[in-house]
Amino acid sequence: MRVAGLSSLMARLVESCADDWAAYTRHAFVRGLADGSLPEPCFRRYLAQDYLFLIHFARAYGLAAYKADTIADIRQAARALSAIIDAEMGLHVTYCAGWGLSEDAMAAEPEADATLAYTRYVLETGSSGDLLDLHVALAPCIVGYAEIGADLAADPGTRRDGNPYADWIDMYASDDYQEVARAEVGHLDQLMDRRGGLGRFAGLAATFRRATRLETAFWDMGLAAAP
């Protein structure tokens, strides 16, 4: 999905840090996925750290349920937590097995500084703020991956035949994942309507910018594994 052009809180947040958003969504790691040139050790490093990231992502939705003050928000958090633990983790493990990575090996992998920085930032932001703060910190990951997947899938320059990363692109370009991202954009607007005020946007934009930069650092971490 393309955030640009949407009339939403997410679009305003992206516009507030357009250069940082472009650095994240058009990163060299992403370009390497598109043309298949990304060194495989970089992708394996990313996959292992992404497994650890998902664990903390699940914790963030546990925190979201705690921070919620409506049954609808509790249910939304519970569905997301269940989707990560009961479905996404299993799919990730199966996908990683094709890259020679076992779940035990990934679970034993030390967390990279970039993984620690982003996951703890999300959890700290949610702990010290409210549900809107937490979702704004999560949004660069949820919505950003949808934009990356859709852009790469639509780009005629993206290599399809023989690209070892074609399945990854298809996963985030899929209708299922695009719907997850659209739902998050809508949920952000609902939270802003209920919890926002005239003075909140600047703080939310600062949170979003930091989270976006931490996503960029996550790509940097993967690239650093190049032989």
Q: Which of 2-11, 32-41, 80-89, 145-154 has the lowest mean pLDDT?
A: 2-11
Domain assignment present for residue 1? The answer is: no
Nearest to 98 by CA among 37, 156, 168: 168
Alpha-carbon distance of 49 to 70, in angstroms, equals 33
Domain assignment present for residue 6? The answer is: no
**Segment 187-204 mean pLDDT:** 90
Cβ atoms within 10 Å of 170's Cβ, excluding its own: 14
Give tens-digit pLDDT for 67-97. Answer: 999 999 999 999 999 999 998 999 999 999 9
pLDDT band at 199 (very low <50, low <70, confident <90, very high): confident
- pLDDT of residue 127 exceeding 80, the answer is yes
Nearest to 219 by CA among 138, 123, 118, 135: 118
Catalytic residues: 141, 215
3-state SS, residue 173? helix
Alpha-carbon distance of 74 to 61, in angstroms, equals 9
Domain assignment present for residue 39? The answer is: yes
Give tens-digit pLDDT for 107-125. Answer: 999 999 999 999 999 999 9
pLDDT band at 197 (very low <50, low <70, confident <90, very high): confident
CATH of the domain at 209: 1.20.910.10
Domain assignment present for residue 94? The answer is: yes
Give tens-digit pLDDT for 162-186. Answer: 999 999 999 999 999 999 999 999 9
Nearest to 158 by CA among 53, 30, 20, 66: 30
Alpha-carbon distance of 185 to 164, in angstroms, equals 30
- pLDDT of residue 6 exceeding 90, the answer is no
Looking at the structure of the chain, the number of domains it has is 1
Domain assignment present for residue 5? The answer is: no
Q: How many CA atoms lie within 13 A of 167 on its CB side?
A: 9
Tell me what pLDDT residue 187 has.
93
Domain assignment present for residue 2? The answer is: no
Domain assignment present for residue 130? The answer is: yes
Tell me what pLDDT residue 196 has.
82
Range of the domain at 160: 11-223
186 neighbors 3 (Cβ within 8 angstroms): no
Q: Supply 210's token pair.
A: 């930091």
- pLDDT of residue 1 exceeding 70, the answer is no
Domain assignment present for residue 3? The answer is: no
Q: Supply 56's token pair.
A: 């903390």
